[in-house]
Amino acid sequence: MLAQKRILLIIGGGIAAYKSLDLIRRLSERGAAVRVVMTEAAQHFVTPLAAGALSHDRVFTDLFDREAEHDIGHIRLSREADLIIVAPATADLLAKMAHGFADDLATCVLLASDKKVLVAPAMNPQMWAHAATRRNAARLAADGVAFVGPNAGAMAERGENGPGRMAEPLEIVAAAARLLVPSGPLTGRHILVTSGPTHEPIDPVRYIANRSSGKQGHAIAAAAARAGAQVTLVSGPVNLPDPIGVEVRHVESARDMLAAVEAALPADAAVFAAAVADWRAASAAGEKMKKDGNAIPPLALAENPDILATVSHLSNRRPRLVVGFAAETENVIAYAQAKRARKGCDWIVANDVSQRSGIPGGVMGGDSNAVHFITAEAVEHWPEASKTEVAERLVARIAATFGPLETVS
Ligand code: C5P
């Protein structure tokens, strides 16, 4: 859940700050991008140099930093994060947060933020038990701030014991992961998506491919993740970044794609947006084919497995909802309806990939799409929209079909 998440770590001034260096490591190991803000007090315990080396980024310390503030850096720092972690959260920082102070970079970022905030308090047990700290912590909890720790145990001060130790880095990581699980209409559902073209090798350097960019499939995976689903995206070779919050399996050929799809089951819904090559080279050469003499090598083809039809006809592990795509150049709706029946899927999203479609850049590779949404009962014509909007509309339909998750008591 932390992969590709952007975490802003605010390090406060306490002896536990040394553990925050390890926390940077633990978060980065899990794929999170960590940015660090340090208070003035924190710099008495650990150096910006150490935090910067571990986060591979500059460390922000100064509200009046001319370089960072020319574009209102404190606002950007908070907006560019998925989650803000305050660790260690000192009694002083908690007090400032509870009252909305903004007299340094850390507190300014916190006040300018609408993001989730996780605090890991660390202080002497007397300070934690003090009525003022109790009030501040209760106020923050009521404001929606999440807490992890403090734990009870030996303090840095000799002989002192009690609640006040900062939670261990891995406990903070687990708390962060829990907060980052998005919740939405598809929370608790597993959605499988295929996307992109496939590459069918002819020899080690040549392959058969098509013009699919993967933009529509990737947009569907991203939209499903934003709706709270657990998403597995099986992607052919594309020039797109992995969508945030999505488990991506990269494959090359149709046969690899089928294997990855089968391995990802069970799923509640499967959306097959990939433009899978219908044929592959009957026998791919093990070495690069040579252009010797005049003989042009014949290219014998073999049929690829139809992933959509295979999954639609599974007797035991068929997802409750199977959605196919159809790219046609003529008789778009009639062909797509016939395809829906033949392949055994529930819905078909059909588009016209002919030049007539008038979509700028063409449907394949372009950023927009005009589709016909075909079910057993009806045909809907969705107006031209961005691939992201088409994805969101499709995901909303999937969510509406499933309804709220039945809770098992
Ligand atoms: O038959 P056609 O290729 O037009 O069908 C398109 C739909 O079938 C798409 O959803 C595509 O992802 C899927 N398909 C597949 N495996 C294939 C061919 C197509 O899953 N070998």
Q: Are 345 and 323 in contact (CB under 8 A)?
A: yes
Question: Given pLDDT bands bounded at 50, 70 and 90, which one contains residue 159?
Answer: confident
Q: Are 340 and 377 in contact (CB under 8 A)?
A: no
Do 6-180 and 190-402 have matching folds? yes
Q: What percent of the chain has pLDDT over 70?
A: 94
- From the number of C-beta atoms within 10 Å of its C-beta (0-12, 13-18, 19+), residue 29 rates as exposed
Question: Given pLDDT bands bounded at 50, 70 and 90, which one contains residue 181?
Answer: confident
CATH of 190-402, one of 3.40.50.300, 1.10.10.10, 3.20.20.140, 3.40.50.10300: 3.40.50.10300
**Which of 211, 218, 233, 272 has the most ligand 1 atoms within 8 A of CB, as the residue to mutate?**
272
The atom of ligand 1 lying closest to the CA of 348 is 10
pLDDT 10s digits, 263-290:
999 999 999 999 999 999 999 999 999 8
The reported pLDDT for the residue numbered 409 is: 38
Domain ranges of the chain: 6-180, 190-402
Residue nearest atom 17 in ligand 1 by C-alpha distance: 306
pTM value > 0.85: no
The reported pLDDT for the residue numbered 66 is: 64
Residue nearest atom 21 in ligand 1 by C-alpha distance: 306
Does 229 have pLDDT greater than 70? Answer: yes
Question: CA torsion 170→176→177→178, rounded to 10°?
Answer: 110
Ligand 1 centroid, distance to 213 Cα (angstroms): 15
The reported pLDDT for the residue numbered 34 is: 96
Residues paired with residue 147 on neighbouring β-strands, in sequence order: 119
Q: Are 83 and 8 in contact (CB under 8 A)?
A: yes
Q: Establish whether 278 is an annotated binding residue.
A: yes
Does 365 have pLDDT greater than 90? Answer: no
Choose between 185 and 183: higher pLDDT.
185
| CA 262 to chain CA centroid, nearest Å | 22
Which residue among the candidates 210, 304, 331, 369 is catalytic per the annotation? Answer: 210
Q: Are 371 and 359 in contact (CB under 8 A)?
A: no
Question: Given pLDDT bands bounded at 50, 70 and 90, which one contains residue 299?
Answer: very high
Question: Given pLDDT bands bounded at 50, 70 and 90, which one contains residue 236?
Answer: very high
6-180 adopts what CATH topology? Answer: Rossmann fold (3.40.50)
- Residue from 186, 330, 362, 197 nearest 275 by CA: 197
pLDDT 10s digits, 6-61:
999 999 999 999 999 999 999 999 899 999 999 999 999 999 999 999 999 999 99
Ligand 1 centroid, distance to 325 Cα (angstroms): 7
Q: Which residue has the tokens 């078909």?
A: 348
The atom of ligand 1 lying closest to the CA of 274 is 12
* 169 vs 18: CA distance, rounded Å: 10
User: Within 6 Å (CB) of ligand 1, which residues are found?
Assistant: 194, 254, 272, 274, 276, 278, 304, 306-308, 324-326, 339
Catalytic residue flag (residue 210): yes
pLDDT 10s digits, 92-127:
999 999 999 999 999 999 999 888 999 999 999 999
% helix / strand / coil in the chain, to the nearest 5? 35, 25, 40
The reported pLDDT for the residue numbered 226 is: 87
The reported pLDDT for the residue numbered 151 is: 93
Mean pLDDT of 224-241: 93
